[in-house]
Amino acid sequence: MKPPLWLAEFHRQWNEVRGHRLSPSARAFSRPWEDLLDATGLRSSFERDHAKAEALALAKDGKLIIERHRVRREDTLTLPLASEPWLLALFDSTPASELRDEALAVVRQAKAIGHPRWPESWSRLCDEILAAFSAGKNLAPFSWKEPSDLRQFLAILHNLSARDWPPHTLLRDASTALDLDSKALEQRRLSLESALSLLFAESSSLESLGILRAESKATVQGILTLQFSNGTDHRVQSLEDSFDLSIVDLRRATHATTTARRILSIENKTTFIQAVRVNTDRDTLLILTSYPTTATTRLLTLLPRDLPHFHFGDTDPSGYAILASLRKISPRPIHPFLMTWQDRENSPPLSEHDRRILPSLLANPQMRNCVPSLQAITLACRKGRFEQESIGAPSLDAWPFWPASGFEALS
């Protein structure tokens, strides 16, 4: 026999409050009877009287308690602690302890499978999840409360990170390549990027794997004119903020001009915003970019080749890998800007991802002027003061914005 609607609502409210508690409850769960009926949608006197008769029958069997409050003079429905297993079984619910144990088994299985590209990082990530779950906690975006979802999410993360994706792979193409619905990765993007950051022990995105959203954009600040094949042009100028250029418009353009005397591409958004605030004369064309998107690549191709280009990024291996990617697609030399590595003894050790990409960076002929920093990182085996934010906000209101010792500002 199907449980009554009011009892289903009572179970829902109990599950919302206590369903994921691992420790036993100390007090019985109660709800005002009239409020419960309102939440169920039982409005007529006939429906409410019938529900009351059902509740009294269950109370007679010892499953529930329904009693009138002495002060408020209203009925209260109570689930005795001893009746919690009965309520769970009635709605085919799994106790929290069993959910957690099932989730732990899922993670142990994932760890046992291993990872073809990042075995150390995968094992470490699984250990971190296991430690959190064992303590009764979640490790966002991983949760023990839905073991079946956890199994699916770990499988997607594993398969996603196990491939070497071609540059500029579209998000929906990547989704179908993994035998998923075309929108599956898009729907889970934020969770997957959070998981990738845990896996690689640094801020990561699908973009860093070479996977881009369908609508690629370049974020820019400065004065820019796009020239088109029909002889028309379009001048884009930011006042106080940056603007986005879509790949659709950039593909239509034949070339671009700017009144700026140089390009400064910046990896981190916070640092980019700081530079925007001091670039008041628009003497520098600022471009926000980590691994270059299709739109950023197209913009760099359209701009004059004699325009000096500087890049300001983090000084860990990933930061230098971004510089290498930019140099690979750029038609002009790119000068590292404030990218001399500095040590810090208590900084994080190099991750498996760091150690894997360092040899290729050292062997890359386009990275010769960065070899001293790359060798220092290799020798120290730690990240050092690698984040752009460690340099602080720019203090000059004109190029080069940061009063860096030993930096020569090219025209």
Q: What is the pLDDT of residues 146-194, one digit of tens each?
A: 999 999 999 999 999 999 998 778 899 999 999 999 899 999 999 999 9
Question: Rounded mean pLDDT of 48-75?
Answer: 87
- pLDDT for position 408: 44
In the chain, the percentage of residues whose pLDDT exceeds 90 is: 71
- Euclidean distance between CA atoms 149 and 325, whole angstroms: 35
CA angle 148, 152, 154 (to 5 degrees): 115
pLDDT tens digits for range 113-129: 999 999 999 999 999 99
Domain boundaries along the sequence of the chain = 5-90, 96-212, 217-391
User: Average per-residue pLDDT in the chain?
Assistant: 91
- The residue among 317 and 408 whose pLDDT is bigger is 317
In this structure, the dihedral spanned by the alpha carbons of residues 372, 375, 381 and 386, taken in order and rounded to 10 degrees, is 30
Please give the C-alpha separations between residue 149 and each of 122, 127, 206, in angstroms, as whole numbers.
19, 19, 20
Mean pLDDT of 24-36: 88
Confidence at residue 404, expressed as pLDDT on a 0 to 100 scale: 64
Burial of 343: CB neighbours in 10 Å, binned 0-12, 13-18, 19+: middle
Q: How confident is the model at residue 88 (pLDDT cuts 50, 70, 90)?
A: confident
CATH topology of domain 217-391: Dna Topoisomerase Vi A Subunit; Chain: A, domain 2 (3.40.1360)
- The yes-or-no verdict on residue 215 having pLDDT over 80 is no
Q: Residue 214 above 70 pLDDT? A: no
CA distance 156 to 184: 10
Contact 405, 411 (CB under 8 A): no
- Contact at 8 Å (CB) between 115 and 122? yes
Measuring CA to CA, how many Å separate 64 from each of 16, 39, 99, 404?
19, 19, 25, 73
Buried b (16+ CB within 10 A) or exposed e, 365-380: eebeebeebbeebbeb
Identify the three-state secondary structure at position 247.
helix
Give the pLDDT of residue 241: 82
The architecture CATH gives domain 5-90: Orthogonal Bundle (1.10)
360: Cβ–Cβ under 8 A, 6 or more apart, which residues?
none
Q: What is the pLDDT of residue 407?
A: 47
